[in-house]
Structure 1
Amino acid sequence: MPGDVNEETALLSRPVSKPRTPLPKLQLSVILLIQTAEPLASQSIYPYINQLVSELDITGGDEKKVGYYAYQSLFFLTQAATVLQWSRASDRLGRKPILLIGLFGATSSIICFGLSRTFWALVASRCLCGLLSANIGVMKTAMGDLTDRTNRAEGFAYLPIVWAIGASLGPFIGGSLARPHDRFPELFSGKFWQDFPYFLPCLVTGSVVLLSFFVVFFFFKEARSTITVPWKNRKPPALIESGDEEFLRAAHPPTVTFRKGPLPLRELFIFPVIISISNYVTLAFLNTTLAALLPLFLAMPIDIGGLGLPPYKIGLILSTYGIATGLFQVLFFARFVRRFGERRVFINGLMTCLPVFTLFPIMSMIARRSGLSIIVWVLVGCVLGLGALMDTSFGAVFMFVTAAAPKSSRGTVNGLSQTSVAIARAIGPAMSTSLFSFSVQHNLLGGYLVYLVFFVLSGFALLLAVRLPLEIWEDVD
């Protein structure tokens, strides 16, 4: 009867009233250190990558073509090929060994990057990092293991914060230490530093990642308890309440079965998982597009649609963005989630894409008419502020993905999400940098076609975001 179904759903989805569980400080600190090291290594190359590609002489001296060779997408393509396997392995082998493999891969790849002298050597180093990039999904899985519904907003609020710290220090290190024989000739005058002008920032960031490897090895301890997985055939797993086996057996003894171990992959394609991952993908696509487009816009000469800034200034700007993001997260994210809910926080953050992509052509037009005036710098600050608000969407969507995943298959669901996101992040930078160059070369909409395209795509992303439920799902056992 319809009434019976409504009563059953109400029982299964009844609110949980529990005191906030304290976060395990040591294990949380280890996860946050890993989260800091990842962007520290990956984003330290952004201030000088366009200059490096230009110096390799593969553009034929045409700066308008640099965007075509911004090769960050290769990392995400190789990551997409392996991240699901690493994440599924973490469900069976544990989180710690997979985290160690990921840190080893990041250390090796960044050192190889600094020692590369050809374009294809750079490509190989980034592909190596992508293939061994196990941590991007496992970190979120480990955070889900450490938290529950009562403290998850606080736990996931830390992830963007420490990511912002790494994202601010990385560009600062990359921009400050690149070409040390030019900037600090009294300390780095040897031939080695002339032959490998970008090795120093890679050495510094690689050392931090290696330190994280040893911290995880000696201090990270994961739960060893066996997880019992309730599986209900007539209802989506997202309707089953966390940690209440007796209630489930009493309410529906004929339809609830219990089994151990990760669920088969095909059983994870349910609406809560699909809608959560889909929104994560659109957010990551737009965010990665912005991350690739911003340094390219800052580096390109004013006459071809950029601001013509040197690497050290680009590093300072990207560092400021990271600091702003971190401060905004620590001050407001958990409060926003408790007051407005995960859905509203996600949608509000995603909406910032619309003004962000509008401001790029405005900054360019002002710079062309009056140079780098105070108005341009104010608008750059607006872009950074809106980007900080945009990043609150990540914490919110992480919570949707975590709540949609059965506990025994959290690694697999996070692997699915990161595989999808890696593909989106591979397309985003390649599409944005290439479309930037294409727009400028052919003077499409005055060279500003790229921003119109991503403005429209942001609108479609918002249409998908409103499909998220008003209330987040309960944890699935």
Structure 2
Amino acid sequence: MATDESAPLLENSQAKTKTPLPKLQLGLTLFVLFSEPISSQYIFPFINQLIRELGVTGGDDRKIGYYAGVVESLFFVTQALTVLWWSRLSDYVGRRPVLLVGLAGLSVSNLCFGLSREFWALVASRCIAGALNGNVGVMKSIVGEITDTTNMARAFALIPIVFFAGASLAPLFGGGLVKPHDRWPELFSGSFWVQYPYFLPSLVSASFTAFTFLVTALFLKESLPSKRRGKELQPERGPIGAQAGTPGDEGASPVPIRTLLKTYSVMIPIANYGILGLVEIGCFALTPLFYATPVEIGGLGLPPFTIGVIMTAFCVANGLFQALFTARAIERFGERRVFRSAVLAFFPVIATFPTMSWIIQVQKEVGMAIWVLIFAQLLSWAVVEMAYAVIFVFVTRASPNRYSLGTMNGLSQTTTSIARAMGPASFTSLFAFSKEYSLLGGNLVYVVLLVLLCLLVLLSRCLPELKRNQQ
């Protein structure tokens, strides 16, 4: 009886002590994550121009968007088809080998992209990049394995910051280094640069990924418990999940995928992650489209430069916001309350679209009211982004044992990869369809987003309350 009475006191004392973040290994993992947007998003500034110069449209510029959309989305389509199996493989062979394969695939595919002079070659290189890259899910597994319940939220809060930093940098060098023979003829005067005017940004991306490969191979330690040679990363722990009796010893093995798919406590956080990603990518695709749409159709009619400044400023400000507030909010209010509050911030994000459309129809110009609404929309969006750090924690804590963590993150990453692959085209097409046929006053696309958001709000109510003192 004395032992039973002392157990809660021991747990409470442990809960008060926060484990320091493993700075070196966490930093290396985030460095690998940084290479993901660097490799996938540097093509956005020049892909339309590249498609035009390849002549695949037959001179019809109206078709450029179709072919560019195919190239842009294929990375995420092939990633969605393979990320689960790479994550599952990492549960058996370890995290480092899968990361190294993914980095090598990204580096080679980027070189191939820069050397492509046919549309099929562009398609093939992007498919290779997506198919060989299951790194995002594996990196989340590493973060879950090198942290515990006292510092996990702080570690996961860094992931959106790093991703936004990479997403901000990639378009800068992607657009700034094209056609170097025109900008710096004294350095790039050879015929090679004339024949391959888009090779330089591809080379920079490939070189950065190759450098990341080298750093990972030399310094990143294996985090999978069954493959670790020592205990230098983290003291041995029991199961990640909350359920007592879950196998956590060294003889345990990954739970079958079919079993995970039938487990309620596993699928609830994954479903939340999937719907969150779908709503977010819908808003992300609609924002520049709405800003650029002519005033006569119900948009703001902003020039591309202004839109670029707005989105870049948002990426920088959002990174600072996440760094300053996300971890503190989680520690003070708990994961469940922060997630439920964050997804509610989607309502003003969506509502400002038709509101701005109505105001611009009345004022016929972008005035102070529009700029105030843009600021309010992006501020609400920064609050929404807090949900990602929290849902990563929920997915990790829902794993039935530490040997299934890769599969868990693979399942969750598959859902968001599908959203990233299909969401932009679906919502932008629905936007055009709503405007063309004046469905619900041209606002049908926002109604669809609100329906999905209501589903997300209901699913967020099903998430469990996480215990801080659980090891």
Name structure 2 gaps, 5 residues minimum. Answer: 228-235
The equivalent residue for 2:23 is: 25
Q: Percent identity?
A: 48
Deviations 1:167-219 (A, max 9, x none): 22223333444566677778768766665554443333333222211111111
Kindly indicate whether residue 454 of structure 2 is the aligned counterpart of residue 462 of structure 1: no
Deviations 1:255-306 (A, max 9, x none): xx98422222233342221101110111111222233333444455555555
Instruction: Give the structure 2 partner of residue 381 of structure 1.
Output: 375
The alpha-carbon distance between structure 1 residues 127 and 361, as it changes in their structure 2 partners (threshold 3 A), is: farther
Within the alignment, does 1:261 sit opposite 2:253 as a pair? yes
Structure 1 unaligned blocks of 5 or more: 1-6, 246-256
Q: Distance in 1 between matches of 2:52 and 2:213?
A: 34
Residue 271 in structure 1 maps to residue 264 in structure 2: yes
Deviation at 1:365, TM superposition (A): 5.2
Partner residue of 1:324?
317
Aligned counterpart, 2:341: 348
User: Structure 1 residues 156 and 380, CA, compared in 2 at 3 Å: closer, same or farther?
Assistant: same
Is the contact made by 2:15 and 2:468 (CA closer than 8 Å) also made in structure 1?
no
C-alpha distance in 2, partners of 1:387/1:26? 31
> Could you report, residue by residue, the CA deviation over 1:402-448 in whole angstroms, capped at 9, with x for unpaired residues?
01111111111111111222223322122112223333444444544
Q: Partner of 1:44: helix, strand, or coil?
A: coil
Aligned residue-pair number? 450
SS at match of 2:254: coil
TM-score, normalised on structure 1? 0.81
287-296 vs 74-83, which deviates more?
A: 287-296
Return the offset for 1:27.
0.8
**Which residue is 2:233 aligned to?**
none
In 1, the alpha carbon distance for the partners of 2:451 and 2:186 equals: 51
Distance 2:284 2:185 in 1: 31
* 1:90 Cα offset (Å): 0.8
For residues 221 and 144 of structure 1, what CA distance do their matches in structure 2 show?
14
Question: Match of 1:76?
Answer: 76
Please state if 1:423 is matched with 2:433.
no
Partner of 1:410: 405
8 Å contact 1:280–1:397 — kept in the other structure? yes
Determine helix, strand or coil for the equivalent of 2:157. helix
d(CA) in 2 for partners of 1:197, 1:451: 40
CA distance in 1, matches of 2:465, 2:326: 18
CA distance in 2, matches of 1:195, 1:297: 36
SS of equivalent residue, structure 1 residue 27: helix
Aligned-CA RMSD value: 3.6
1:280 — aligned with what? 273
Equivalent in the alignment of 2:232? none
Letter in 2 for 1:429: P
Shift of 1:92: 1.2
Aligned 8 A contact 1:352 1:389 in 2 = yes
Quote the residue 2:141 is aligned against: 141
| Structure-2 separation of matches of 1:271 and 1:129 | 33
Q: 1:48 to 1:18 in 2, by over 3 A?
A: same
Q: Which residue of 2 aligns with 1:254?
A: none
| Cα contact 1:347–1:466 (8 A) shared by 2 | yes
Aligned pair 1:239/2:243, yes or no?
Answer: yes
Cα distance in structure 1, aligned partners of 2:381 and 2:86: 30
**Matched residue SS, 2:19:** coil
The SS at the match of 2:242 is helix
Alpha-carbon distance in structure 1 between the residues aligned to 2:312 and 2:181: 23
Distance (whole Å) between structure 1 residues aligned to residue 187 and residue 327 of structure 2: 45
Counterpart in the other structure of 2:107: 107
Stretch deviating more after TM superposition (294-303 or 56-65): 56-65
Matches within 5 A, 1:120-199: 120-178=120-178, 196-199=196-199
Q: TM-score, normalised by structure 2?
A: 0.82
Shift of 1:157: 1.3
- Which residue in 2 is equivalent to 1:250? none
